[in-house]
Structures are given as C-alpha cells and as structure tokens.
Structure 1
Amino acid sequence: MRSKYLHEEIYRGAGEVTKLAEPLVAVCGAGALGSNLVDNLARQGFLQLRVVDFDRVDQHNVSTQAYGVADVGAPKVDVLRNQVFRAAEVELDAVDKKLDERNVRKLLKGADLVVDTFDNSASRQLVQQHCREAGVECLHVGLYADYCEAVWDEFYRVPADAEGDVCEYPLARNLVLLAVAVASELLVRYVLAGEKENYSGTLRDFAVKPLGF
C-alpha cells in the first residue's frame, strides 16, 4: 500500500518526511490560522502536534476556519482532534484550556517548537515571554485584511491590538490559506535544514516576499 504521504515523500524524500514526525509542535490558538495549520501539518507528516485553545466553534468561524456548520457549539480542539485523526490518523494532543500566565509552562511543556497564532497581543506576549525564557523556538503567524506574515521570534515584535470586536474584521479565506502555506513551509524547512526564514504575503497582488530583517 502506498504511503499516505506519498507526494510529500516524492517531493522532499521519504527520509526527510520521516524527520517531520520527530519534534513536538505546540500550536497556540485554533482559529483561522491555527485550525488550518494543524490540519495541514498533520497531512505533511508532523505526527506530534498539540493545540491549545478554550474557544467553541461559532457560526461565523465556518468560512475561514477548519470547521463546519455541524460543529457549531463544540470545543474547537475536540473537533480538530477528531478531524485530524480521520484525515491522517494523527493523534492530536488537544488542550481545551485558556493559556495564561499560571499555566503557560505546563501547557507548553515538552514542546520542541511553538507556533503562535493567537489573535490578541496579550496572548502573543505571553507565548513570546515563555519561549524566550524556556529557550524554545517560536514562529509567530499573523494576518489582517490583505496582509499576512510568519516571523521567527527573535525578529518579532508583538503588534498592538486592532480596535473593535476581534471577531469582526475584514478577512478573506484565501489569505488564511496563503498564510498557512507559508507558515507550514517555514516549519518544514526549519525541521529539515535548520533554516529560519521570515516571510510576508499580500493577497491583492498575490505576493509572497522574504522579510529583510
């Protein structure tokens, strides 16, 4: 029987895809970025995945997140755990808790890589502080309107929160998927070759460019 990662193995090499199964990757946030990113990583060969989020699926999440109408009301991490197992038989470590200063060390314990996909500055700062103190590599992924970026922690500055309701802002699904593709590739390149690259993307001109830090 052919491997479920056949196309990735042909592209990268079977031995390379095997390496993706080694690190424990903790994804902070299971919203538009986090949910699609976890699903994508599982389908690429990452087998040790943890996702931390306390939110439940809402109706407005369906267009940009990896959830469906039938999931509305359910904890996001539970839906994602079931979805990832059905898709790739990957056992997701689903943590249905709000990450805060009291539990951040416990919830991110053992992670080899942390991915910050939170949508507010306080949570991003908390993740950044923990990763710097613990010496854990962290990739921050963010987006707004037409722009997205994926930046390794040593080059990252936590932005101020946008005004208004965090759930009500302009966002195209295609920008989310563009950001997920960029972040996924940066994680793969880091695990396989130790490369740290930072990229931004804009949807209107469909441009993905390296950030010149």
Structure 2
Amino acid sequence: MLYNMPTRRPNERPAHLPLKVKYSTSQEWEIAYVDRSICPFLVGLPLYPMPDALTGIVTSGNRNAATSTMWVRGAGLWQDRNAQLQWLCEALGASDVMPTATLHTEPFCLTLAKIAHSFAVAELGIGAFDPFLTGMIRQRDLSSRAEFIGGGHGNEMPSDHLHVLEFDTNVCTNPNVIAVRIRLLGILGTPTYYVAAGRRK
C-alpha cells in the first residue's frame, strides 16, 4: 500500500490500519483504526541463516518458516516523525500512539519461493534446471525452508531501487545450484534474501 504496488485483489486492501493509542483516562493501550494515508506503521521481516543448499552446511534448530529474529522499521512516517505522532495524538484525543506490525512468515517465504522460481524459469527456461521449490509452492509446505530459503542479516544500506532481483554466483559453494538474490522494498534498507531455485542440468 505504501508504494501502491499492484495486486490481484485491490478491493481487499484495508482502508484503515490499526494504531495503538493510549488515552489520558487509561493506562492500557487500545487499538484505533486510522486512514491508511496518514497512519504510520511498522514493516517487519523475518531473518534467517543462509540456505543450506547454498552454504553446504546443515542449519541446526528451526527448519520451517518460524523465526525469533526480525527486522523492524517504521514506515508511512512524515519526515518529522515526532510532529506526525503529536498531530495524531491531537487528532485522536490520545496521550500517546504507537505504530504496529504483523508478521506472517509462511506467506512471506512462499512469496520468496514463487519469485525465485518464476525468475529462474523466465531467465533460464523451464527445462534448464531441476527445480527445488515446486513442491513447497504447490503444497504450501515450509518444513524445508532452511534448505532453500534464507538470508536477511539485519541492517543494510538503502537501495536506489524499490526491489532487487538477480542471480548471485558468489554465495553458493556448488556452481550448479541456482542462487537468486531478492530484496523487496530495498529503499527502506530492508534485508536481502537468498533462495536456491534449483540445480542446473
């Protein structure tokens, strides 16, 4: 919504976003729904180790899409963040406001898988490699996420481009494995992800 990116379901975009507010009459936070054009919010993305298929190392611990480590930044904010939050407090009659974020790791990882697979097919051809991700995509099964999807090491310099999508031959120990580099909303300083899309024939 922030960059009006295309969607197949434009009518499902919410007109209002949740914002935590605290009123002077209470010590508890409450949720107010604020027009999306003026509501600040947080962008939250999961952080993972690099994929096993690229490093040749088997990741210990969690193998699915769950994570306890996240990258979080504010978005939808004015240049003067404090002025915007003060303005919102006055408009809502609140003593304090706090932007919120919701992180759904499984749909996010499936999105990375779809992007990487589609990119590899478009650039190399459907018969040029043995794909790793088709079963994951079709069955929506993220139990092998650690094998094929990872990256995101925290703070990175903002990019001049909204998104970055390319092959990366420098991150894989096996030259036959196709590594796709994906950075979404890079102008916000978001993390970079790496996906093992398949093995070259």
Asked if TM exceeds 0.5, the reply is: no
Which has more strand, going by share of residues?
Answer: 2
Larger RCO: 1 or 2 (CA < 8 Å, sep 6+): 2
TM-score tier, shorter chain, comes to under 0.3
* TM score, norm. by length of structure 1: 0.23
Which has more helix, going by share of residues?
Answer: 1
Name which one, 1 or 2, has greater alpha-carbon Rg: 2
* TM score, norm. by length of structure 2: 0.24
